[in-house]
Amino acid sequence: MSLKLALPGGQLAQPTDELLRQAGLIVRGYTDGSRSYRPRLDGRQGVRLRVFREKDIPIQIALGNYDLGICSLAWLKELLIRFPSEAVVQL
């Protein structure tokens, strides 16, 4: 079984990388100047990562393309206002 995680690009990339590092997760090819949209998680098999524009992350989760995503609360709220029946939740 694999876990698909959507990561934000842009201004949230650096704080997200720091948060993941504090949790012991080292992401290669994310904030080190790489232009790759598919970074890798060191030492973790079965975890697929993809970088998206922050506003697209709740949509990717709602569509079932990704299991988890990191974005600002504003984009999550916007999705839920537009589509209140979506099963996307804040953790």
Residue 71's CATH number: 3.40.190.10
Range of the domain at 52: 3-82
Mean of per-residue pLDDT scores for the chain: 90
Local structure of 6: helix, strand or coil = strand
Give all strands (DSSP E) within the chain, no chain letters. Answer: 3-8, 27-28, 40-41, 47-52, 68-69
pTM of this prediction? Answer: 0.86
Q: Are 41 and 27 in contact, with CB atoms under 8 Å apart? A: yes
Residue 23, pLDDT above cutoff 90: yes
Separation of alpha carbons 17 and 19, rounded Å: 5
Separation of alpha carbons 85 and 38, rounded Å: 30
- How large is the average pLDDT for residues 37-44? 87
In-domain check, residue 52: yes
| Residue 62: φ, ψ to 5° | -60, -35
Residue 4's identity, in one-letter code, is: K
In-domain check, residue 91: no
Q: What percent of the chain has pLDDT over 70?
A: 99
